[in-house]
C-alpha cells in the first residue's frame, strides 16, 4: 500500500515544489528541514520551472513491476534552469535518439498504478522541449 | 462583464490513421474517410489520461491568464473518461495547479457536453460573485469498441478555460441551451465500450439539439448566422457539423479554424472547447464567436463570445492548437495502438 508515501510526495510530484533557503538561496528538491549548504532551517516554497537539459540517461529494457508497458523507456538526470538536478522518466520521445544536452521540459503524467483497481500515481516526467 | 481570461489545450503526440484501423477490420478506408470527413485521430500515450491532459491544458491556460492560481475558487472537469469511477479528477487538477485548498470542485459527466456545461457553471459562478475566477476543462481519452464506427473517431485531448471578470480576452455575450432525454449513446457501469443507436445518433439526436440551441440563442439575441465571425459546433466526425452549419445558413469561412476533427478525431468533452481554443488562436479583437456543443443523452449548450484587444497580448504565452495538432506526430500501427489503449488482455 503506497497511499501514504505517494500522498506525502504530492507537492513535489504534482507541481515540483521545492524549498529555497531563506539565508543562502540554495534550492532543495524536495524541500528539506535543514539547508545542506548553510544549515539554516527556514525555506520558501517555490515551484520549479521544469525546464532544463539532459545531463545523462539510460534506457530501461527490463522494466520493474508496473512499468512494463512503457519499455523500452529512458530515465535521465536533468539539470533544471534553477540549477537543481532531478532524475526522471523521459517520455514522448524515441529513447534511442536522446542525447546529452537535449532541452527538456516537464509534463504531468501517470507514473504508475497499484494494479487495475488500486490508486493511480501521477508525477512529473520530462519530454523534449518543442514548445508543445 | 465576465468571460474568458485564459485558455489552453493539450493534445497527445500519437496518431493513428483511418487506413491503419480499416486494414485490421477489412473495412473500406476511403469510404470512411469520405463519409466521415476524417483522416486520423490522436491517441493518448500509455501515461496519459483525462487527468494528465486536463492538468497540462490548464497549465497552458494559467500561463495565458497570468493570475495567482489561488484566485481560482472553483474547478470543473467535464469528461466521460475520468480515471477513477469514484474519486474526483478535479482534486488532482487543483493540487497540480496549486489551487488547493480553498476551492470548490466536483466532476461533471454528460457524454461530449460535460466540458461546456463546466464552462457554463464557471461563468455563472464568476457572474454571481461567488468566486473571483473559475476553471472549466473538457477532457477525454475515449474509446470506441474494436471494429465499431466510433473506433475511427474516438480520440484524446483537453481544453481548459479560466473565467473571470477582469482582463478578459473574450467577453461572454449570451448563453442558451437545448436539452431532452434522448438515448442515442450510452455506456453502462462496468461496460468497457459504449453502445450507440447507429443512424439514430444523427437526425433526432445531434442535428435536432444543435439546431435547437442555435435557434434559441439567435432568437434570444436577435442575431442571424451572418452576424458571427466564427462558428464552432461539436464534432463527432467531420461531416455532421458541416451539414448542420450549412443547413442553418452558416458558411465555410466561419468554421475554418474551429473544425479540427479531420486530423484530431472526436475528443468528446474536449471537442467543441478545443475548436473554440483554435479559433481564439486566430481571431482578431472585437470579433464574435458562436460555440455550440453537443452531448449524447442529449443536449447542446450555446455561447456567444466577443474577443478583446487583450487576446493578442496573451495568446503567445502558450502553444497554439494547430501546433499541438500538426507538429511532432508519432504514427502508430494498430498493434501498438491496441497496447496503448489496453485493448489486449494480459495475465494479471
Ligand atoms: Zn542555505
B43-71: pLDDT as tens digits: 999 999 999 999 999 999 999 999 999 99
Q: Is residue B276 part of a domain?
A: yes
Q: Measure B15 CA to nearest chain A CA, in Å.
A: 12
| Rounded average pLDDT over B117-122 | 98
Question: Which pairing describes strands B133-141 and B104-105: parallel, antiparallel, or unpaired?
Answer: unpaired
Residue of chain A nearest B346, judged by CA positions: A69
pLDDT band at residue B190 using 50, 70 and 90 as cut-offs: confident
Are B163 and B185 members of one domain?
no
The CA distance from B285 to B279, in Å, is: 12
Are B107 and B140 members of one domain?
yes
How would you write the pLDDT of chain A (132 residues) with one tens digit per residue?
689 999 999 999 999 999 999 999 999 999 999 999 999 999 999 999 999 999 999 999 999 988 888 899 999 999 999 999 999 999 999 999 999 999 999 999 999 999 889 999 999 999 999 999
The CA distance from B16 to B333, in Å, is: 7
Beta carbons of B319 and A132 less than 8 Å apart: yes
Report pLDDT for B348: 66
SS3 B33: helix
The CA distance from B158 to B50, in Å, is: 8
Are B207 and B105 members of one domain?
no
Torsion of CA B4, B6, B12, B15, to 10 degrees: 50
Tell me phi and psi for residue A2, to 5 degrees. Answer: -95, 5
Q: Where are the domains of chain A?
A: 3-127
Residue-number span of the structural domain to which B106 is assigned: 3-169+311-340
Are B246 and B291 members of one domain?
yes
Contacts of B59 in chain A (CB under 8 A): 108
Residues of A with CB under 8 A from a CB of B: 10, 14-15, 47, 69-70, 91-92, 107-111, 115-116, 120, 122, 125, 128, 130-132
Are B35 and B162 members of one domain?
yes
How many domains, in total, are found in chain B?
Answer: 2
Are B46 and B156 members of one domain?
yes
Residue of chain B nearest A115, judged by CA positions: B348
The C-alpha cell of B76 is what?
A: 470543473
Are B155 and B20 members of one domain?
yes
Find, among B5, B311, B294, B299, the residue nearest to B172 by Cα.
Answer: B5
**DSSP calls for B130-144:** S-SEEEEEEEEE---
The number of angstroms, rounded, from the C-alpha of B133 to the middle of its chain's C-alpha atoms is 20
Residues paired with B230 in a beta bridge: B289
Report pLDDT for B347: 78
The C-alpha cell of B61 is what?
A: 491556460
Q: Measure A24 CA to nearest chain B CA, in Å.
A: 25
Write the pLDDT tens digit of every residue in B76-89.
Answer: 999 999 999 999 99
A53 by Cβ neighbours in 10 Å (0-12 / 13-18 / 19+) ranks as middle
Q: Is the pLDDT of residue B73 over 70?
A: yes
Report pLDDT for A1: 66
Are B108 and B225 members of one domain?
no
Q: Around A75, how many Cα atoms within 13 Å sit in the side-chain half-sphere?
A: 11
Residue B104 is part of a domain; what is its CATH number? 3.40.47.10
The CA distance from A66 to A46, in Å, is: 31
Are B11 and B48 members of one domain?
yes
The CA distance from A55 to A104, in Å, is: 11
Q: Is residue B346 part of a domain?
A: no
Find, among B243, B230, B211, the residue nearest to B36 by Cα.
Answer: B243
Strand order in the sheet with B330-331: B40-43, B14-17, B330-331
Contacts of A107 in chain B (CB under 8 A): 52, 56
Find, among B295, B302, B172, the residue nearest to B231 by Cα.
Answer: B302
Write the pLDDT tens digit of every residue in B235-248.
Answer: 999 999 999 999 99
B21 by Cβ neighbours in 10 Å (0-12 / 13-18 / 19+) ranks as buried
Q: Is the pLDDT of residue B234 over 80?
A: yes
Mutate to test the interface with A, among B13, B45, B47 (most CBs of A within 10 A): B47
- Residues 6 or more apart whose CB falls under 8 angstroms from that of B279 comprise B230, B232, B257, B258, B289
Are B9 and B138 members of one domain?
yes
Report pLDDT for A87: 97
Helices (H), B37-77: 50-65
Q: Is residue B121 part of a domain?
A: yes
Of B51, B59, B339, the CB nearest to A122: B51
The CA distance from B331 to B15, in Å, is: 5
Whether the link from the prior residue into B101 is cis, omega within 30° of 0, is: yes
Are B35 and B159 members of one domain?
yes
Query: Are A95 and A59 in contact, with CB atoms under 8 Å apart?
Result: yes
Q: Is residue B345 part of a domain?
A: no
Are B175 and B165 members of one domain?
no
Beta carbons of A130 and B328 less than 8 Å apart: yes
Query: With a cut of 0.90, is the ipTM above it?
Result: yes
Residue of chain A nearest B336, judged by CA positions: A69
Q: Within an 8 Å CB–CB cutoff, is residue B88 touching chain A?
A: no
Q: Is residue B347 part of a domain?
A: no
Q: Within an 8 Å CB–CB cutoff, is residue B327 touching chain A?
A: yes
Q: Within an 8 Å CB–CB cutoff, is residue B92 touching chain A?
A: yes
Write the pLDDT tens digit of every residue in B29-41.
Answer: 999 999 999 999 9
Report pLDDT for B299: 97
Report pLDDT for A65: 84
Amino acid at each position: 500500500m503506497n497511499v501514504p508515501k505517494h500522498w506525502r510526495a504530492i507537492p513535489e510530484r504534482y507541481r515540483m515544489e521545492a524549498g529555497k533557503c531563506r539565508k543562502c538561496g540554495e534550492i532543495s528538491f524536495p524541500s528539506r528541514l535543514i539547508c545542506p549548504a548553510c544549515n539554516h532551517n527556514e525555506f520558501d516554497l517555490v515551484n520549479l520551472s521544469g525546464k532544463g537539459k539532459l545531463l545523462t540517461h539510460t534506457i530501461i529494457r527490463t522494466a520493474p513491476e508496473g512499468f512494463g508497458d512503457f519499455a523500452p523507456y529512458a530515465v535521465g538526470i536533468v539539470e533544471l534552469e534553477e540549477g537543481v538536478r532531478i532524475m526522471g522518466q523521459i517520455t514522448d520521445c524515441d529513447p534511442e535518439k536522446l542525447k546529452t544536452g537535449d532541452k527538456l521540459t516537464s509534463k504531468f503524467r501517470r507514473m504508475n498504478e497499484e494494479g487495475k483497481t488500486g490508486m493511480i500515481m501521477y508525477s512529473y516526467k520530462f519530454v523534449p522541449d518543442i514548445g508543445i | 462583464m465576465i468571460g474568458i481570461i485564459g485558455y489552453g489545450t493539450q493534445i497527445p503526440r500519437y496518431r493513428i490513421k483511418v487506413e491503419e484501423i480499416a486494414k485490421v477490420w477489412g473495412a473500406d478506408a476511403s469510404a470512411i474517410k469520405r463519409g466521415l470527413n476524417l483522416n486520423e485521430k490522436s491517441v493518448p500515450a500509455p501515461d496519459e489520461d483525462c487527468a494528465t491532459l486536463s492538468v497540462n491544458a490548464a497549465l497552458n491556460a494559467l500561463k495565458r491568464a497570468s493570475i495567482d492560481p489561488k484566485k481560482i475558487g472553483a474547478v470543473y472537469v467535464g469528461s466521460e473518461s475520468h480515471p477513477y469511477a469514484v474519486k474526483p479528477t478535479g482534486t488532482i487538477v487543483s493540487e497540480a495547479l496549486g489551487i488547493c485548498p480553498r476551492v470548490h470542485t466536483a466532476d461533471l459527466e454528460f457524454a461530449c457536453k460535460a466540458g461546456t456545461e463546466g464552462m457554463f457553471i464557471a461563468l455563472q459562478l464568476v457572474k454571481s460573485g461567488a468566486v473571483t475566477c473559475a476553471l472549466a476543462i473538457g477532457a477525454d481519452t475515449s474509446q470506441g469498441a474494436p471494429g465499431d464506427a466510433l473506433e475511427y473517431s474516438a480520440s484524446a485531448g483537453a481544453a481548459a478555460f479560466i473565467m473571470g471578470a477582469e482582463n478578459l480576452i473574450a467577453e461572454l455575450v449570451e448563453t442558451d441551451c437545448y436539452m431532452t432525454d434522448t438515448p442515442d449513446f450510452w455506456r453502462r457501469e462496468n461496460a468497457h465500450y459504449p453502445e450507440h443507436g447507429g443512424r439514430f445518433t444523427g437526425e433526432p439526436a445531434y442535428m435536432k439539439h444543435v439546431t435547437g440551441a442555435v435557434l434559441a440563442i439567435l432568437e434570444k439575441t436577435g442575431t442571424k448566422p451572418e452576424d458571427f465571425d466564427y462558428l464552432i459546433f461539436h464534432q463527432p466526425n467531420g461531416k455532421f457539423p458541416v451539414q448542420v452549419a450549412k443547413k442553418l445558413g452558416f458558411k465555410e469561412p466561419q468554421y475554418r479554424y474551429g473544425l479540427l476533427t479531420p486530423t484530431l478525431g472526436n475528443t468528446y468533452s474536449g471537442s467543441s472547447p478545443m475548436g473554440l481554443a483554435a479559433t481564439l488562436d486566430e481571431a482578431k479583437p472585437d470579433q464574435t464567436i458562436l460555440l455550440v456543443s453537443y452531448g449524447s443523452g442529449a443536449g447542446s449548450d450555446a455561447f456567444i463570445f466577443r474577443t478583446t484587444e487583450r487576446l493578442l497580448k496573451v495568446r503567445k504565452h502558450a502553444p497554439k492548437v494547430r501546433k499541438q495538432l500538426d507538429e511532432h506526430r508519432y504514427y502508430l500501427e494498430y498493434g501498438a495502438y491496441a497496447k496503448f489503449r489496453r485493448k489486449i488482455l494480459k495475465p494479471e
